[in-house]
Amino acid sequence: MITVIFFNSIFQTFLTEYDFIVIGAGSAGAVVANRLSEVSDWNVLLLEAGGDEPMAADIPGTAAFLQRSNVDWNYRTVPQSQACLSIEGQRCLWPRGKVLGGSSVLNYMMYIRGNKKDYDEWSKENPGWAYDDVLPYFIKSEDNRNPYVAANTKYHGTGGYLTVQEPPYKTPLVTAFIEGGVEMGYQHLDPNAHQQIGFSSVQGTIRRGTRCSTAKAFLRPVRKRSNLHISMHSHVHKIIIDPVTKQTTAVRFEKKGKIYQIKVNKEVVVSAGAINSPQVLMLSGVGLADHLKSFGIPLIADLAVGDNLQDHPEIMGMVFNVDKPYGMMETRYYNLPTILNYTLNSNGPMSMLGGCEGLGWIKSKYAPTDDDDWPDLGITFLSGTAASESGGILRHNFGFTDEIWDSYFKPLINTDMLQFHLWLLRPLSRGTIRLSSSDPYAPPLIDPKYFSETADMDTIIESLKFALALVKTTAFKKLGTKFYDKIFPGCEGFTPWTDDYWRCFVRYTSSTGYHPSGSCKMGPSTDTKAVVDHQLKVHGIKGLRVADCSIMPVIVSGNTNAPAIMIGEKVSDMIKDSWLKIKKEKKEDVSQLKEETLLSLLVEKK
């Protein structure tokens, strides 16, 4: 027996072997641990490298403060040549949650599922993953508390663990955003229902004005289950796999300076995210043979682990001035009345999703014409910019160089602004995750290869042109909205507002959309890039599955937190179906054997 501290600070013990070990307590892993521990006969161990959620994480408005903190893995990409040029070292910052609840603790809480066609495309090579197959799992988790949304029971659920609702506070700017979209011919709609293309205010994973992480939603309600043990500050070194039988037998991890190796009786489920899941697999001998050989790691299975990496590149430099006092300026956001309002009423600016207020989904001229509702561009509307505060937090979260900050953003401090973060929904570019060392504590090498495909650049430029058209609508003109037309530093050699200028602008102002995916691709064994099958079982390995956004064959056309939770729900049912069926068959075999034995004895007696 080993002593461990639960996240509710109650001392408990856990066994030296478990039926299931779940690696990572993030958006998917928390769900898997909850659902598997519903079976009282199964013992489940959940391993998390980080600790408990900080109190500040409860406040939606503090999302920016959690990045670069001790609940963030603080990852950076390798230097990029086509993106992130305004960021120190041209290395994009990739925040990832190192905490119970994972990235659901430090994200901007937007609840978007993606497009129906995304999942239907997955299902062409992965049976059971069509939209009609996954929709029940989105609904299963959900407790939607917006009455006009929850009334649509075909697409939404109530009573689930995960609370979803609109923030209690909005600025007038988001009204202009939606009205402007309608003025341009788009519908004001719920993008998680029958149609995605259109404009909406945000729905978020919040509960009565506070963040609803997966730790709060799925772990806290079941923390007293005797068969669920949660070990925080437990950094996984490797999964132990028998090199002959290919059977997963144990997990090795370090906790408070001591190494443990815990046996597993049934399965290990890796839910460490699109960066750490491939890292753990490679450290365990599952990966590309030549790559593992270069670090002296014995090969267990030669699979394309770490390939197929995808993300939504996001443009963060489209800044607009407004004449009305509606922007989320630092002086309005952080003051005593605002803080008291939130403390007493869970309302006001601090209840906003970090300033994110609206979403738009549109098709560019490059989008497929055979589907009227499969957008290729997304717009996140923010009622402020990096210059909305004095440069202490947001500037460093984006990683801007001193030259960029001083020249472009600093002159805007203490002015009313709004911003569009424009993102590419279905990038063609593919990147990689690779080990930098055989040391499990060494950060992996992250190379998203943003805009390595020319078509990605051509498509994202269309979003910039759309944004300029949007602010010319009557709704925005009423606010005195004007594009901040200062030439971006580094792009002075291009004629302003031409495609060549916008290409330069994109290269400088692009960064992550916070949606890494695809690095442990789901697909049939005939697919040379596939790591897991449609049951999320690692090809060629027994007792090992991966369940998080890394399994996405192609990234979804939307945010990834809700899909990660869905994946956790779906794999849990797959595991239950598999093992409970085996148990039932064994029970039936025993009953049949007893009947045959009894009949034999009766015959002998006669």
Q: How far is CA 357 from the centre of its chain?
A: 19
Tokens of 142: 């959900």
Does 99 appear as a known binding residue?
A: yes
Is residue 354 classed as helix, strand or coil in its secondary structure?
A: coil
Asked whether the beta carbons of 238 and 67 are under 8 A apart, the reply is: no
Q: How far apart are CA 403 and CA 88, in angstroms?
A: 10
Radius of gyration of the chain (CA): 25
- Give the 3-state secondary structure of 485-524: CCCCCCCCCCCCCCHHHHHHHHHHHEECCCCCECCCCECC
Say how many CA atoms lie within 13 Å of 43 toward its Cβ.
12
Q: How far apart are CA 546 and CA 211, in angstroms?
A: 27
Say how many CA atoms lie within 13 Å of 48 toward its Cβ.
31
Active site residue 312: no
Tokens of 31: 């769900």
H helix or E strand, kind and range, residue 459: helix 454-470
Q: How far apart are CA 254 and CA 566, in angstroms?
A: 29
Given the residues 312, 515, 534, 539, select the one marked as catalytic.
515
Does 236 appear as a known binding residue?
A: yes
DSSP label of 219 = I
Q: How far apart are CA 136 and CA 154, in angstroms?
A: 9
- Binding-site residues for FAD, please? 99, 236
Catalytic residue IDs: 515
